[in-house]
Amino acid sequence: MAMTQPAPAPSAVHEGILRRQSLRESSARTYARSLPIVPVRARGLTIEGADGRRYLDCLSGAGTLALGHNHPVVLEAIKKVIDSGAPLHVLDLATPVKDAFITELYATLPEEFARDARIQFCGPAGTDAVEAAIKLVRTATGRSGLLAFTGAYHGMTAGALDASGGATEVRVTRLPFPRSYRCPFGVGGERGAELGARWTESLLDDPKSGVAAPAAMMLEPVQGEGGVIPAPDSWMRRMREITAARSIPLIADEVQTGVGRTGAFWAVEHSGIVPDVMVLSKAIGGSLPLAVIVYRSGLDAWQPGAHAGTFRGNQLAMAAGAATLAFVRENRLAERARTLGARMLAGLRALARAHPCVGDVRGRGLMIGVELVAPDAATGDTAPPAPELAAAVRQECLNRGLIIELGGRHSAVVRLLPPLTLTDEQAVAVLDRFADAMVAAERSARRGGVGVQPH
């Protein structure tokens, strides 16, 4: 008779999976390194690991989970498609599920934009939509160059990487993204942003600037990976004026800022601008992979098949996405993100007063960043960034059951991207754990374990 083996202890399962991951998966893996957890269950803000530990997830799939994990309306939408017997894969064919998704998406978009818009379903990642947008404007304008910004992040495929701030050997003109903290012009605020706008104008109008007429300007209304940097609304309007006056299409990359995250359904609504192209992904798929570009119909110069791909028809993602968009709209979660985000920023600013290592607290809605700097070093915005301290804070957060991530030029910005469904009590719990983690990380920094980086 076969003897049943006792089930391995949860901690052994956890350890075993992590060990096999490190042996078998690419050294390019990212989050898996800083967050050595093995999620087995999740609901809302909470993730449970294979070792039985529970975490408050303020990474939200890098901003994807607008409604948190496994929201009932998302699960129900997915089950409905499965139970209906609808095909799950249909290339780019029309289906009732897709039709409903487009209708819901268009209902959320700025009216003036949606009225005359075309949508293209591309490969399912944000970076695929960025590629599609670049290709579209190149076809439509017959030009090839691109205007993009310092600190930008648009993805990891070739074109998107070129447009991102880390790229150097590229056909991209790099313009200064406005930032108050560490303003390249030393003045910050609206004035700093205006100087950046003037620089942009002069490059475009000076026949000897070395900048040819570009195919488009691409920007994030709030830079996410670049360190949570909201662009002033006035600057967004200036970029719209500058590009419109020179017939340069403006691409808004709302992959991370969309679906209520910044306190408006789409971040371009804060400034009231109407872009020519919107790049959308992450939350529009309701936690499943989905990406689209939506653009002014006048740009639709593509021939049939000009931008194809096998995975453009993920029915489950469209159903989950439509349910998410509708839930955010009906429950006014953008407004909720605005008020709760403002309260969390105020809480973090109060916390910062007790911690000289906090150089800056900034954000918009529930896209929040805390920039850490070398304690006891220069004050103001010349203090060197402190990536090791930030990594220590992340680890101390994890030890306390809080998942956060880092971003920014030097990975010294702690980023909070909680779901828009975060309750007041959960927000307090997140800030409490964060405050404790700061104290612990600073203590170990004082013991000499943590260094800083030149900037």
Name residues whose C-beta falls within 8 Å of residue 103's C-beta, 6 or more positions apart in sequence.
none
For ligand PMP, the binding residue among 281, 287, 324, 426 (CB under 6 A) is 281
Which positions from 35 to 74 touch ligand PMP by CB under 6 A, shown as an x/- string?
Answer: ---------------------------x------------
Region from 92-100, 124-132, 168-176, 437-445 binding ligand PMP, contact rule CB under 6 A: 124-132
Q: Packing angle between helix 315-330 and helix 72-84, nearest 10 degrees?
A: 140
Per rule CB under 6 A, is residue 255 in the interface with ligand PMP? yes
Distance of CA 410 to the CA centre of its chain: 17
Instruction: Give the residue closest to ligand PMP by C-beta.
Output: 126
**Exposure string for 108-119, b = 16+ CB within 10 A, e = fewer:** bbbeebbeebeb
Question: Residue 101 or 153: which CB sits closer to ligand PMP?
Answer: 153
DSSP 394: H
Q: Least distance from C-beta 62 to ligand PMP, angstroms?
A: 5
Q: Least distance from C-beta 454 to ligand PMP, angstroms?
A: 26
Residue 11, both tokens: 């901690």
Question: Residue 269 or 388: which CB sits closer to ligand PMP?
Answer: 269
Q: Give the number of C-alpha atoms closer than 13 A to the C-alpha of residue 167, restricted to the C-beta side.
A: 24
Per rule CB under 6 A, is residue 390 in the interface with ligand PMP? no
Q: Least distance from C-beta 279 to ligand PMP, angstroms?
A: 7
For ligand PMP, the binding residue among 57, 225, 360, 388 (CB under 6 A) is 225
Region from 153-161, 231-239, 264-272, 340-348 binding ligand PMP, contact rule CB under 6 A: 153-161
Per rule CB under 6 A, is residue 221 in the interface with ligand PMP? no
Edge-to-edge strands, sheet with 358-364: 358-364, 367-372, 413-416, 405-407
- Cβ–Cβ < 8 Å for 178, 232: yes
Name residues whose C-beta falls within 8 Å of residue 277's C-beta, 6 or more positions apart in sequence.
133, 136, 137, 216, 249, 250, 251, 252, 293, 294, 295, 296, 299
3-state class (DSSP) for residue 40: strand
Per rule CB under 6 A, is residue 141 in the interface with ligand PMP? no
Binding site for ligand PMP (CB under 6 A): 62, 125-127, 130, 153-155, 220, 224-225, 253, 255-256, 281
